[in-house]
């Protein structure tokens, strides 16, 4: 496929108003793409070069891309910068310039190869080489192709669809409807490489998809918990279930293969063994490869008596002097990409392991939780280091459940997780196999709300010194639209006001993002890109004539910043509506 053809599809998708039309256009694109290129087509359409978990980044800022556009079209950088400030989009700058560009007929594979070479270029002088490489590539593209290519290195392609829309489109390509989505999603849930899913389906159809299994090194989409309003409902729903603590940390999935050595230069593994380094990776809740940030977790995992394993757990920072667990804000500092060694010494991690998904070549996902737990206990029976087997008690009555909730809250945890013992691991799904019981349950809301910051309002009085006095938050609907649900001006410390302002100003934009749905009477003084997630507590959810989805939070206040969550992982409109009914 010529890249120009792909760009024409992108342009059509960008203009689509409905999710169905977008899905149908993607299906047409996938039908036209060949087996050898469909994975590349999908990665590029999602604004990436490889699966998200491989962590391949361009390390190119918008300022570098402005230099690329200036060098490509021979327009003074100052003028390019002024145009960018006005339109707020790199692709839009190329449209404003009005250059038709030169189409050299490059294929998708050729453009992909050049982008990959630019992305992996490191070391002294790499920044200048990246700019030169991008300018050389863009010069060989027509203006429509260039418009999309310049957005990819800065992660701003944003055609408005996700991995799950890709699955819908695959089904539509084959059947003309979404009937194959459940089978495709099952495969994606256990092997979260969307490019591989597309390539296998294009080549071998459903038969190939049904053969996809979990493997070490490819993250499994995390199981998620549901909510119920009180302890009585939980016991009624789950009958007999395991109860574990609910830690306020970072969800991690640990992959180890002691039979596989990797090239030390590639830094894929971080602990030694034999003549090389053994394979090990740590993935976050949102499938980011965070291995390099957690050498202590890798070191602890290397001591397990296994050939290969995939573990699910929660990582929490602790004070090495007192052994006391620290709060979420301290834990999240460990995700930093710099000074990793000193941070590991200052804020070491304990991982409370609560599930086993794979061991010694055997896939455990379909095995009932009771059996997974028994296998987990065998390999962690003697663990006394920073890898800790989560305590579990089997519960059958409300009194026992409340006693455990009180115990774990007294230990400083968020609450407990209640898990059915006879079910498989529900990768990528939220259902009643797991139910969380937090300190907010049976009071206020059934849970906190993870909302997207949409903008902020200038401060008055004492807050005038911060330049911010309130901020607007919203949730995402099924069409990726973000609708307002609350204006928050209380429950925020002086330090937090400063932090919000500093963070927001880095992602501020000149006009309201197209995906935002906000009443004109609620427009903030400064709009921001949808990148900041915050956890909000409120007394209740009420009906609202002014907020986008006709629901609002009553007396909302900030709990914390959710640095570990991206926008798509926050509370959805559908969940908000369900919380409203549960009250």
What global pTM score does this model have? 0.81
Report the alpha-carbon distance of residue 496 to residue 488 in Å, rounded: 13
CATH 1.10.3260.10 fits 47-154, yes or no: yes
Query: What CATH fold (topology level) applies to the domain 449-582?
Result: OB fold (Dihydrolipoamide Acetyltransferase, E2P) (2.40.50)
- Catalytic, 266? Answer no
Report the alpha-carbon distance of residue 583 to residue 566 in Å, rounded: 27
Q: What is the DSSP string of 449-508?
A: EEEEEEEEE---GGGGGTT-SEEEEEEE-TTS-EEEEEEE-SS--HHHHHHHHHHHHHTE
Which residue is catalytic, options 40, 130, 202, 246?
A: 246
Q: What is the pLDDT along the chain (583 residues), one digit of tens a residue?
A: 999 999 999 999 998 878 889 999 999 999 999 999 999 999 999 999 999 899 888 889 999 999 999 999 999 999 999 999 888 889 999 988 877 767 899 999 999 999 999 999 988 999 999 999 999 999 999 999 999 999 999 988 878 788 999 999 999 999 999 999 999 999 999 999 999 999 999 999 999 999 999 999 999 999 999 888 889 999 999 999 999 999 989 999 999 999 887 754 454 444 444 345 779 999 998 888 999 899 999 988 988 999 999 999 999 999 999 989 998 888 888 877 778 888 888 999 999 999 999 999 999 999 999 999 999 999 998 766 889 999 999 999 999 999 999 999 999 898 999 999 999 999 998 889 999 998 765 555 557 899 999 999 987 666 666 789 899 999 999 888 999 999 998 778 888 888 888 888 888 888 899 899 999 999 999 999 999 999 998 888 999 999 999 999 988 989 888 888 888 888 999 999 988 887 7
Burial class (CB in 10 A: 0-12, 13-18, 19+), 503: middle
Report the alpha-carbon distance of residue 6 to residue 9 in Å, rounded: 5
Residue with tokens 């010194």: 465
- Domain ranges (residues) in the chain: 47-154, 225-438, 449-582
Half-sphere exposure of 477 (CA within 13 A, CB side): 15
List 325's β-bridge partners, or say none.
318
- The SS3 call for residue 272 is strand
Superfamily of segment(s) 225-438: DNA ligase/mRNA capping enzyme (3.30.470.30)
Report the alpha-carbon distance of residue 521 to residue 439 in Å, rounded: 35
Please report, for residues 192, 199, 307, 398, 527, the alpha-carbon distance to residue 292 in angstroms, rounded to integers and kept in the order given.
20, 29, 22, 43, 34
What pLDDT is stored for residue 268 in this prediction?
47
What is the spatial order of strands in the sheet that 241-246 belongs to?
A: 224-226, 430-438, 415-420, 241-246, 393-395
Report the alpha-carbon distance of residue 525 to residue 522 in Å, rounded: 10
CB 424 within 8 A of CB 364: no
Closest by Cα among 505, 549, 511, 556 to 531: 505
């Amino acid at each position: 496929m010529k890249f120009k053809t792909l760009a024409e599809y992108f342009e059509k998708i960008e203009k689509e108003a409905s999710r169905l039309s977008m899905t149908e256009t993607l299906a047409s694109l996938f039908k036209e793409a060949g087996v050898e290129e469909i994975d590349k087509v999908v990665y590029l359409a999602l604004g990436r070069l490889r699966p998200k978990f491989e962590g391949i980044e361009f390390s190119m800022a918008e300022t570098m891309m402005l230099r690329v556009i200036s060098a490509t079209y021979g327009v003074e950088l100052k003028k390019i910068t002024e145009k960018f400030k006005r339109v707020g989009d790199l692709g839009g700058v190329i449209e404003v310039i009005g250059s038709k560009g030169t189409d050299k007929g490059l294929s998708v594979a050729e453009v992909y190869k050049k982008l990959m070479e630019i992305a992996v270029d490191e070391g002294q002088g790499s920044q200048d080489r990246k700019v030169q490489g991008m300018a050389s590539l863009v010069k060989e593209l027509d203006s429509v192709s260039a418009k999309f290519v310049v957005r990819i290195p800065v992660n701003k392609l944003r055609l408005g669809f996700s991995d799950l829309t890709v699955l819908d489109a695959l089904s539509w390509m084959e059947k003309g409807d979404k009937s194959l989505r459940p089978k495709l999603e099952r495969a994606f849930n256990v092997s979260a490489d969307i490019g591989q899913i597309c390539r296998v389906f294009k080549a071998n159809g459903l038969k190939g998809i049904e053969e996809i299994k979990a493997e070490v090194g490819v993250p499994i989409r995390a199981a998620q918990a549901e909510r119920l309003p009180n302890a009585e409902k939980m016991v009624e729903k789950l009958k007999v279930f395991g109860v574990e603590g609910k830690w306020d940390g970072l969800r991690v999935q640990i992959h180890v293969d002691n039979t596989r050595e990797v090239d030390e230069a590639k830094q894929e593994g971080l602990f030694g063994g034999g003549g090389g380094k053994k394979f090990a990776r740590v993935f976050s809740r949102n499938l980011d490869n965070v291995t390099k940030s957690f050498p202590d977790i890798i070191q602890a995992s290397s001591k397990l008596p296994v050939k290969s394993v995939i573990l699910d757990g929660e990582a929490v920072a602790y004070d090495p002097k007192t052994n006391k667990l620290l709060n979420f804000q301290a834990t999240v500092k460990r995700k930093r990409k710099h000074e990793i060694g000193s941070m590991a010494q200052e804020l070491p991690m304990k991982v409370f392991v609560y599930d086993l998904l794979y061991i010694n070549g055997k896939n455990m996902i379909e095995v009932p939780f009771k059996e997974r737990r028994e296998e987990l206990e065998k390999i962690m029976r003697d663990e006394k280091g920073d890898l800790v087997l989560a305590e579990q008690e089997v519960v059958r009555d409300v009194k026992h459940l409340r006693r455990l909730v009180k115990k774990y809250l007294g230990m400083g945890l968020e609450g407990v997780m209640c898990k059915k013992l006879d079910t498989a691991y529900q990768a990528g799904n939220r259902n009643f196999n797991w139910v969380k019981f937090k300190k907010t349950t049976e009071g206020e809301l059934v849970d906190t709300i993870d909302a997207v910051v949409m903008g902020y309002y200038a401060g008055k009085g004492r807050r005038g010194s911060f330049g911010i006095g309130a901020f607007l938050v919203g949730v995402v609907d099924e069409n990726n639209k973000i609708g307002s649900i609350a204006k928050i001006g209380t429950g925020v410390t002086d330090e937090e006001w400063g932090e919000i302002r500093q963070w927001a100003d880095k992602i501020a934009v000149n006009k309201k993002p197209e995906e935002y749905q906000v009443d004109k009477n609620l427009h903030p003084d400064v709009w921001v890109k949808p990148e900041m997630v915050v956890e909000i507590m409120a007394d209740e959810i009420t009906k609202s004539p002014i907020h986008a989805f006709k629901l609002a939070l009553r007396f909302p206040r900030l709990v914390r910043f959710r640095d570990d969550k991206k926008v798509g992982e926050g509370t959805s409109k559908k969940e908000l509506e369900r919380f409203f009914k549960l009250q």
